[in-house]
């Protein structure tokens, strides 16, 4: 006999994963327990005692699922998410930030912090998309309750009404690219582009990204190395040399160019 007692897995979870909202780890553990029970049930003929233990263990797994959902019920609730329609045309690209795959994230939601959340950031519609681990239904968080989120180490903050006006955007979230003496922001957009060829029925997502440096009460739009360095009037020459020496390219990698240039500016002004 393989199973000879019904374990209290919740005690194990509390010891192995202290604290709340270890969602990804918790789901993996529950999945492992479920697979283990199914393997045992299929690999061994069951006596009445075995059947009773199997039933109790299965009930325990279901209880863990319910406990998990109850603890995170505020997060795992929202409007059902429907993917953007392409009217049957072949889709090239993705509406999501970085990847079509769910990414491990942290989200501040309605005053609570949730870690290890598997999530999409769907850029065209400004929504965060999760999948209910029990029903497997995708849904979107309520934007008015989202305070911030960090997805695959990229931190996004909600854009204030004043900042949105200054940056001429209707987007809700901006990535905080750098924080120092000045702050740099990235605002991302993706839009459908239809092929001009009648025989080509594909639809392509094209990215349109805007970058800003917040200095005092002003937001400076950055579209090139020249626009980046000219806002630092007293150090323009040094920053140009730094960009050239380190072979930075705004066109090739705008985020890294902004981050490294602002970090170097902070070093210069500390001397």
The pLDDT of residue 79: 82
User: Best-predicted range by mean pLDDT among 30-39, 52-61, 198-207, 246-255?
Assistant: 246-255
Tell me: pLDDT of 171 over 70: yes
Residue 244: Cβ-neighbour burial (10 angstroms; 0-12, 13-18, 19+): exposed
Query: Is the pTM for the entire model greater than 0.75?
Result: no
* pLDDT (0 to 100) of residue 59: 59
pLDDT at position 5, please? 41
What is the predicted pLDDT for the residue at 68? 52
When mean pLDDT is compared over 28-32, 129-133, 183-187, the highest value belongs to 183-187
Contacts with 55 (C-beta within 8 Å, 6 or more apart), sequence order? none
47 versus 109: which is more confidently predicted? 109
Q: Taking residues 19-40, what's their average pLDDT?
A: 49
Domain ranges of the chain: 9-71, 79-222
Q: What pLDDT score does 62 carry?
A: 52
Mind listing the pLDDT tens digit for each residue in 114-149?
988 889 999 999 999 998 777 778 889 999 999 999
Residue 97 has pLDDT above 80, yes or no: yes
Is pLDDT at 257 greater than 50 in this prediction?
yes
Cβ(130)–Cβ(141) below 8 Å = yes
Please give the Cα distance from 257 to 193 (Å, whole number): 28
- More reliable by pLDDT, 193 or 160: 160
Q: Is the pLDDT of residue 37 over 90?
A: no
pLDDT on residue 213: 96
């Amino acid at each position: 006999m393989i199973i000879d007692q019904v374990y209290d897995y919740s005690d194990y979870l509390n010891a192995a994963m202290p604290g709340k909202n270890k969602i990804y780890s918790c789901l993996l553990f529950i999945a492992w327990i479920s697979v283990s029970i199914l393997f045992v049930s299929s690999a061994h003929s069951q006596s009445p005692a075995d059947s009773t233990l199997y039933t109790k263990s299965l009930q325990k797994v279901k209880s863990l699922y319910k406990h998990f959902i109850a603890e995170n019920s505020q997060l795992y609730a929202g409007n059902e998410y429907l993917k953007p329609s392409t009217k049957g045309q072949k889709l090239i690209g993705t509406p999501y930030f970085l990847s079509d795959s769910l990414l491990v994230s942290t989200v501040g939601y309605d005053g609570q912090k949730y870690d290890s959340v598997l999530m999409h950031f769907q850029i065209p519609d400004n929504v965060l998309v999760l999948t209910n681990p029990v029903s497997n239904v995708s849904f979107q968080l309520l934007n008015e309750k989202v305070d911030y989120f960090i997805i695959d180490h990229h931190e996004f903050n909600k854009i204030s009404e004043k900042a949105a006006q200054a940056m001429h955007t209707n987007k809700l979230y901006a990535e905080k690219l750098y924080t120092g003496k000045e702050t740099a922001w990235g605002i991302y957009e993706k839009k459908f582009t239809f092929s001009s060829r009648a025989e080509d029925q594909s639809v392509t997502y094209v990215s349109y990204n805007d970058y800003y440096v917040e200095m005092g009460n002003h937001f400076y739009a950055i579209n090139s190395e020249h626009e980046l360095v000219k806002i630092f009037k007293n150090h323009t020459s040094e920053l140009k040399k730094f960009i050239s020496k380190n072979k930075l390219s705004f066109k090739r990698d705008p985020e890294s160019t902004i981050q490294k240039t602002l970090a170097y500016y902070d070093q210069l002004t500390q001397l």
